[in-house]
Structure 1
Amino acid sequence: MPAVRPSLTPSSSTNNSQYAGGNYLDLRGLGFNRTLVLVDGKRFVPAQIQGPVDINAIPQALIGSIDIVTGGASAAWGSDAVAGVVNFKFDHKLEGFKGSVQGGITDHNDHRNYLASVAFGQSFAGGRGKLLLAGEMAENSGIARQGDRDWGNQGWGIIANPAYTATNQEPRNLLVADARSANLSYGGVINSGPLAGRHFAPDGTLIPFRYGSLRTATGMVGGDGASGSSDLVLEVPLKRRSAYGRLSFEATDSITAYAEASWAQSKTDHPGLTRTDTNIGINIQHPFLQQSVRDAMTAAGIENFTMGRYSRDYGRGMNHIRAETTRFVGGLEGELGGGWSWDAYYTRGQTKNRHRGSNARINANYLFAVDAVTDPATGAAVCRNLAARAAGCVPINLLGDGAPSPQAIDYVTGETWRVWDLTQDAAAVTLRGEPFSTWAGPVSLATGAEWRHETADVTSDPLSAAGSFSTGNTVPWKGEVTVKEAFGELVVPLAADQSWADSLELNVAGRLTDYSTSGTVTTWKVGGTWEVNDDIRFRATRSRDIRAPSMAELFSGATTAQFSPFDPVINQSYSVQTLTRGNASLQPEKADTLTAGVVLSPAFVPNLRVSIDYYDIKLKDAILALSAASIVDRCYRDQPQLCGLITRGADGRIAQVESSPQNLQSVHTRGVDVEIAYRMPVASGNLSLRTLVTYVGKMTLDDGRTVTDLAGSTDQPTIASLGGTPHWRANANATYEAGPTTLSLTGRYVGGGNINNAFTYKDLNVLEHSGRLYVDLSAQYAIIDDGDRKVSLFAGVSNLFDNDPPITGTGGFATVRSLYDVVGRTYTAGVRFRY
């Protein structure tokens, strides 16, 4: 559905090891942490300390249907459903076997994947008992390099414009192909003094550095500078396994007991970002300098120079992520008579998420190893610092691509690890019935209470805890939150079988939620449905929804990462550390939601159904963190109060930017959803047509001083939690069924728009781009169709015309990976069966 955006997928989170390999749902583009994901109406243990559920852990074969509710969901379904709820419902009536096996590959011989999913259901004891089992195995080889796609191999990037001034007509930045660093090379380029403009060949000799065009201090087009964009991972490889079992038994004619157990595991191993250094100091006595270089320094009258290096030979870390989720559910459900029923359950879930990072640089060891001298006694290269030398310091040679020795690499790098242990205990009891009737029919009531306790225990290695590595450095922390909720919902019929209404119903719901961390919050919903006749039905809902801060937003210890902002003070881009930590003072978000719509089923066009729904969501006290790049940009553009989050070193360059979540934002979004479905006989079969369209007319972020307009823009790198929001998204499907054959043609449209609504001609040379239409074709043939025995072969092609994504320069990845297809034409074939 276009209203559901896959914001984080294995292809959009390759530069973020925290989410790599996961699939997280995002309703309305408000962020995955504002979408409540349930399984059979029950909470599912999160996969991340931020609170989202990875739907990889839910076995596909058992899914019978999915409820998606986008209005007034918190009061009826549970807290945290600000954007809505996605409820996966298992097929508890399954008898026999059901499953599928499939495999796929792309035109580029990558993204090789398979999926095997099977489910089994069996009644016993005369139908009083039921056993359900399911298992799933899937693997995807991923896509190793962005350069494995033609569009990704062109080296797209954003560089500063050397012709820019504040008073001319030139833009400040340029989106260009073959973007390269003017101050970084793979072997090290000298950037200061008389020898500037030379760099080190692999053998350590000094050779001329060819500068490209449009050169500034940090960027250029072409030349010998480093270009790392082609080597970025385009899609992380992923292996996952899951198993599920459910046993239920009718203990009496009115009471059924059940127990469930599930297990899921995912693994991914992929490279991270490459380390860059722009200010490596080298002295004339450096032991790894060739004599010819010393002679050149002497002739130039210098004893020191600084160089920049893109360290692809030792500076690229590896991420090894293992996540394991277990979940147990026990419950009772029964009938009380007179139309009353009840159910009660307890669930316990646990996720253990392990991340191991290899080849991570240890800051102190690196500084000791770079500062090398010649031992006068032996003539060998040694570390200058005597204490470090005694502790095993090995000097590192950075003069040339491939120059560092294995021993030096072992010394300056290490292995990091961090473990998240997440535990969720939840219990609920619900009573349903019809307490009385109105003149129009019986009133339906559902009421109950829920309790939830969640804990997070984050541990890491001693070096990370001490902040010793160049990136990562998870600080151990613990946190817990207890939630108590009481809720009630009424459906009150107001009219039935009238000339002006076949039916008119009022729906009201309320929920009182108490958080141990942030107090008590009330949510509510008032809605109505007016079915005028068989042709037309109106519906509307007004609600208050909430989301409490996640444990990570509240309690997380400081973590560091590297980014490269454009510093307008010195007119350069360079590597800077960002610091992020939790904020214990955060309060719950509150959203006021209005939805209203109409459903048309005109009698004069049989089998046609049209629904049009308007939505308006105003989110107050939104918990968002500005990205570090945004803080730097806005500090010097129009929000000087943000400058306090920036720390500069003695050299005047930015040393650190602090970015932590705050209740300083409000978000306002509104739009329209349209669905059109039509079915008609054609020749000897039936043709089904269905179109789903979402239009986002407004999406604004207001931090109390600046209103950022997101609607109609596809790249918002200045916002950490909200991504690009094109105005239009649509899916259209045509399916033709004739005998054993089913053919399906699907069009998926993702709109274009401005790269960034805030940009003018003074910001970037390219301001907008067109959308993309992806066409998918599939076919299925039933080789066995005998009652409950069914076997079908199927095959399909996704992105049939191999449409490339638009080029936006986003984060070095050339395009917006959360919106557009970066994989390309993909072939899939398999078999489905039921017996």
Structure 2
Amino acid sequence: MAQSDEGVDEIEQIVVTGSRIARRDLTSSSPVAVVDAEQYRLSGTVNVEQLLNTLPQVIPGTTAFSNNPGNGAATLDLRGLGAERTLILVNNRRYMFFDANQITDVNTIPAALVERTEVVTGGASAVYGSDAIGGVVNFILKDDFEGIEIGTQYDITTRGDADRANIDLTMGGNFADGRGNAVLYMNYFDRDAVMQDARDFSFNALLDDFDENGNPALVPGGSASVLNGRFSGPLDNDVNRALRPGLTTALDNAGLTGLGGLGFLPGADGQTATNFRNPEDLFNYAPDNFLQIPQERWMIGTMATYDITDQMEFYAEGSFANNRVITELAPTPITGNFLFNVDSPFLSPAMQEVLRQADLTEGTITGTVRDDNGNLVNPGTLTLADTAGDGQTSLSIGRRLEEVGPRQNSDERNSWRVVTGIRGDLGDFSDTMFKNMRYDAYYMFARTLNTQRQAGNVSRSAFQAALLDNSLNIFGPNITEDAADSIRIAATNVEESQLQVASGAISGDIIELPAGPVGGAFGFEWRSTSARFSPDTALSSGDVVGFNAGNPTAGGYDVWELFGEVRVPIVADLPFAKNVEVNGAFRYSDYDLENVGGVWTYAGGVDWSVSDDLMFRGQFQRAVRAPNVQELFGGQAQGFPGAIDPCSDQFTGEQTQALRDTCIASGVPAANVFGAIQPNTQIQGLFGGNPDLEEETSDTFTIGAVITPQAIPGLSVTIDYYNIEVDDAISVLGGSLNNVLDLCFNEIQDINSPFCQAVNRNPGGDIGEPNFVEVLNANIGKFETDGIDLQINYSMDLDFGLLSESSSLDFFVLGTWVNNFDITPVAAIPERIDECAGTFGNTCGEPLPEFKTNSRVTWRTGPLNLSLRWRWIDSVKDDQLLNEGTVAANLAVPKIGSQNYFDLSATFDVLDNVQIFGGVDNLFDNKPPLVADSSEQANTFPGTYDVLGSRLFFGATVRF
């Protein structure tokens, strides 16, 4: 607080996130949650996502535990609407993003330099532009720093692993007789890897099955691509066996009587074989996956200000971050059809005869007759070309190439950002209008270059060649090191993203009214966004087996914008109306995208301060998000999301005749419908961009109250209702691969629908290499969510203390109730709604509890602060119960119970300039809840639930 010449307190005007207009208080028209620097210290946060992902308004995005899926970045997702709909700001300006999705990796924001973080949920495009549909997270960094500060922290779990080491150095000082200030900060962070086999709950890959009593249960599972190879193809098709009399005899002689649809396994000697039919045959891929991914980070940055004149200040920011992150998967599973020599020296005579009998090329089947159960009655006729003379046949294989080693993906991201600008006072233009005018203009340039190196890949063409020249024996554990070297291939991908912003604005008091000045802000902004992804040639050609293939991405666009805000006081100092203000904002954006063009966003609201004790507030905002570069121009790439094929025995819903007919029409042989055609819990999809996308629009409505009772000093309560609707939402076709399957086979049941046309099957009816579900980007239906946020702060003085005569007690509660979160995956079918509030699973994804709270009580006594945090996550149920018509009795884990975590921490000021701190997170060592087919990874949801157990942290800060 500054003193005026008359000796009356003059309150300095400030800018609150969500507006560009300076105000005299910290009250915002939109709900704002503030996380200050002390919260980072008390929670032992060195990566900002550690703390912010625990906020009730945030659904965890990618985190330190995101290995598969994962990209080595840390992202924030407000309201569960997606990280691409959450705008990240640093000092009220856009920050750099790390990929073509235009998402910020918050690993690049220095936690030690954060003074506070302001979280505004709901559309804010009128103020900040595109990407703010879910809301804004604004990191306010410490500036005007003088001295030297060194901070260190070390973390380790009570099991002695998952080490994290962090060191920060901040230096600053004034120059030019106090007209300027410069700050330099540096950071080094190192995080050790933890493998999934380091914890009992993630040691085995679990799947949903049944116990010996026929009850649903979690059982050890894994992948059908196994260590010694699994072989199928024409051997296990009833039509082929009926038309090849010699094949059945050969199979019987080889000990493969009654061979099932999943094929046979070779013995350890590679010459004998057994049927693949037991769960014990599956490969447990879990131990080869990271539970905590390793990270090494270097950051350096600077901030400087200089008063050119008393009315003009030059400012600059610069930052550079080098992030190195590794993800690891189990050895490459190679699948698909390959040619084999029928006289392979690696096989016994009996197995050679099996291949010899299968050495026939199929023609056209006619007159096939089946009974009502799909069993073959009359095979009809089939023209066969006798090609036994070529000595080769085709088999479908599933072989885990352990001899090549695990698959590792190493990302090295170099990100840098530069901001330069001028700001200052324009003064008063007249005695009655345009007073206290200020200006701010800046230019920002940011670029991220990611070099991605892959190991553990295999060349498909080299693999095929090695099979035919008999240098590669995949029957049993018989691949030599030389053979492994001959098929091993590395891959390098390069990804670059770039953002430029030029912006200018003026703000101040436009005119004086009886109730006070009318505040306004007006300006312009130009943004240029571009990105490119250059995959390795071998990877983009599809020859690489291991990591997903992808095609090049390149594109960008520019946008010119005009914006304005106004805040008008209506009445002041009246009974039941201490202050009433209305506000409005607009932004016109002109994109050089044909399907977007010029768009308007706007906002309006009212603040009604009844008295010093009570204020009501309400706000409406229309927001727009233009499609990002990846959504528009992304090359096609493969992915393996969790999903259930309704035509397989994994499906637990009703097996109707209409479903059966749709399955057959989609390419499932009648005898295989509802059979073992889905060996894994993941289904291969083809994802990619769509240049014909249009913009998303959203409407956000909030209404709430701020209660600060004068009769209870130190207490403040805010309660706000929010309602957000996003139309023409951009997502993959149908909203998810699992949705596409559900819409095709359970809802629409028309083979000519775009959803059924997206499903491509192999001859046996399975979905996999080389056939996928095509789920390219589209403007789908809409997202709708509403709920209530509650925040309580209370501070009270105590007349006793531990290291002092008195002390104080601070209470803080932040909670959210989600009433609804509905997804309409197809605008043309408005009655088809995926209900996601209070659920988790393959359709809705990360758990979205109805209730979530984050509470803290801190006792301050002299130099000591003791703090206890309680994190409560409400129970959630499998989304199949709401969206796919199944019942709880069919699921091993129909519900995840509520989870409670307690964290204890302390800070102690040893000297005025020395502070030590420490604590334990997850004090009672709670284990994560387990799910299988509906999990994200590691048999749970590692972003939501603690997977490491109790974690100890301790550190110190010294300032000179």
Same fold (TM over 0.5): yes
CA contact (8 A) 2:493 2:534 kept: yes
SS of residue paired to 2:483: helix
Specify which of 85, 95, 104 is matched with residue 34 of structure 1.
Answer: 85
Q: 1:585 maps to what in 2?
A: 692
User: CA offsets per residue over residues 72-104 of structure 1, 9 Å max, x none?
Assistant: 421122222001111111222222123420001
SS of residue paired to 2:292: coil
Matching of residue 523 in structure 1 with residue 601 in structure 2:
yes
Specify which of 762, 768, 772 is matched with residue 656 of structure 1.
Answer: 772
Q: 1:288 maps to what in 2?
A: 346
Distance change (3 Å), C-alpha of 1:162 and 1:440: same
Q: 1:573 maps to what in 2?
A: 678
CA contact (8 A) 1:566 1:574 kept: no
Distance change (3 Å), C-alpha of 1:673 and 1:187: same
Number of matched pairs? 781
The offset of 1:155, in angstroms, is 3.7
Matching of residue 559 in structure 1 with residue 672 in structure 2:
no
Structure 2 CA distance for aligned equivalents of residues 527 and 342 of structure 1 = 25
The offset of 1:175, in angstroms, is 4.7
SS of residue paired to 2:728: strand
- For residues 270-309 of structure 1, what are the structure 2 equivalents within 5 Å? 270-277=327-334, 285-289=343-347, 293-295=348-350, 308-309=398-399
SS of residue paired to 2:103: coil
The offset of 1:818, in angstroms, is 2.7
Structure 2 CA distance for aligned equivalents of residues 551 and 300 of structure 1 = 49
SS of residue paired to 2:403: coil
User: CA offsets per residue over residues 226-271 of structure 1, 9 Å max, x none?
Assistant: 2223433212111111111122211111111122221011001232
CA contact (8 A) 1:59 1:243 kept: no
Structure 2 CA distance for aligned equivalents of residues 162 and 521 of structure 1 = 61
SS of residue paired to 2:589: strand
Structure 2 CA distance for aligned equivalents of residues 560 and 211 of structure 1 = 28
Q: 2:228 maps to what in 1?
A: 187
Q: 1:404 maps to what in 2?
A: 479
Structure 2 CA distance for aligned equivalents of residues 531 and 647 of structure 1 = 61
Specify which of 113, 123, 136 is matched with residue 85 of structure 1.
Answer: 136
SS of residue paired to 1:813: coil
The offset of 1:574, in angstroms, is 4.0
Distance change (3 Å), C-alpha of 1:294 and 1:106: farther
User: CA offsets per residue over residues 639-672 of structure 1, 9 Å max, x none?
Assistant: 3421111123444443121111111120000011
- For residues 382-781 of structure 1, what are the structure 2 equivalents within 5 Å? 382-383=469-470, 395-401=471-477, 403-470=478-545, 471-517=547-593, 518-562=596-640, 566-567=644-645, 568=647, 569=663, 570=672, 571=675, 572-574=677-679, 577-625=684-732, 626-640=735-749, 641=753, 642-654=755-767, 655-682=771-798, 683-684=800-801, 685-702=807-824, 703-704=826-827, 705=829, 706-715=832-841, 717-718=842-843, 723-756=846-879, 757-759=882-884, 760-761=886-887, 764-781=891-908
- The one-letter code matched in structure 2 to 1:491 is R
SS of residue paired to 2:68: coil
- The one-letter code matched in structure 2 to 1:555 is F
SS of residue paired to 1:410: helix
SS of residue paired to 2:291: coil
The offset of 1:135, in angstroms, is 1.0
Percent of paired sites with the same residue: 30
Specify which of 77, 82, 99 is matched with residue 48 of structure 1.
Answer: 99
Q: 1:392 maps to what in 2?
A: none
- Tell me which moved more, 92-101 or 129-138: 92-101
Structure 1 CA distance for aligned equivalents of residues 439 and 355 of structure 2 = 88
Structure 1 CA distance for aligned equivalents of residues 575 and 488 of structure 2 = 79
CA contact (8 A) 2:838 2:850 kept: yes
- The one-letter code matched in structure 2 to 1:8 is T
SS of residue paired to 1:313: helix
Structure 2 CA distance for aligned equivalents of residues 37 and 180 of structure 1 = 38
Distance change (3 Å), C-alpha of 1:633 and 1:478: same
Structure 1 CA distance for aligned equivalents of residues 210 and 526 of structure 2 = 54
CA contact (8 A) 1:156 1:812 kept: no
- The one-letter code matched in structure 2 to 1:573 is Q
Q: 2:32 maps to what in 1?
A: none
The offset of 1:302, in angstroms, is 6.5
- For residues 156-175 of structure 1, what are the structure 2 equivalents within 5 Å? 156-159=206-209, 174-175=216-217
The offset of 1:143, in angstroms, is 1.4
CA contact (8 A) 1:431 1:447 kept: yes
SS of residue paired to 1:435: strand
SS of residue paired to 1:698: strand
Q: 1:153 maps to what in 2?
A: 203
- The one-letter code matched in structure 1 to 2:865 is T
Specify which of 943, 948, 955 is matched with residue 823 of structure 1.
Answer: 948
Distance change (3 Å), C-alpha of 1:480 and 1:295: closer
Q: 2:463 maps to what in 1?
A: 366
Distance change (3 Å), C-alpha of 1:648 and 1:71: closer
Provide TM-score, normalisation by structure 2. Answer: 0.78
The offset of 1:324, in angstroms, is 0.7
Specify which of 788, 793, 800 is matched with residue 923 of structure 2.
Answer: 800
Distance change (3 Å), C-alpha of 1:563 and 1:729: closer
CA contact (8 A) 1:503 1:530 kept: yes
Q: 1:376 maps to what in 2?
A: none
The offset of 1:60, in angstroms, is 2.1
Distance change (3 Å), C-alpha of 1:326 and 1:306: closer
The offset of 1:121, in angstroms, is 2.0
Q: 1:14 maps to what in 2?
A: 67
CA contact (8 A) 2:631 2:689 kept: yes
Structure 1 CA distance for aligned equivalents of residues 355 and 725 of structure 2 = 65
- The one-letter code matched in structure 1 to 2:326 is D
Which has the larger share of strand? 1
Q: Any stretches of 5+ residues in structure 1 without a counterpart? A: 164-169, 213-219, 373-381, 384-394
SS of residue paired to 1:10: coil
SS of residue paired to 2:203: helix
User: CA offsets per residue over residues 284-333 of structure 1, 9 Å max, x none?
Assistant: 522223xxx43576699967886643333336421011101011111111
- The one-letter code matched in structure 2 to 1:729 is K
Q: Any stretches of 5+ residues in structure 2 without a counterpart? A: 1-54, 237-250, 359-392, 429-435, 648-662, 664-671, 802-806
Structure 2 CA distance for aligned equivalents of residues 93 and 499 of structure 1 = 43
The offset of 1:283, in angstroms, is 5.5
The offset of 1:813, in angstroms, is 2.5
Provide TM-score, normalisation by structure 1. Answer: 0.89
Q: 1:217 maps to what in 2?
A: none
CA contact (8 A) 1:8 1:24 kept: yes
Structure 2 CA distance for aligned equivalents of residues 566 and 688 of structure 1 = 49
User: CA offsets per residue over residues 177-228 of structure 1, 9 Å max, x none?
Assistant: 22255x554223566544348744555464767965xxxxxxx3xx343222
Specify which of 313, 321, 339 is matched with residue 411 of structure 2.
Answer: 321
- For residues 212-361 of structure 1, what are the structure 2 equivalents within 5 Å? 212=278, 220=279, 223-277=280-334, 285-289=343-347, 293-295=348-350, 308-314=398-404, 316-338=406-428, 339-361=436-458
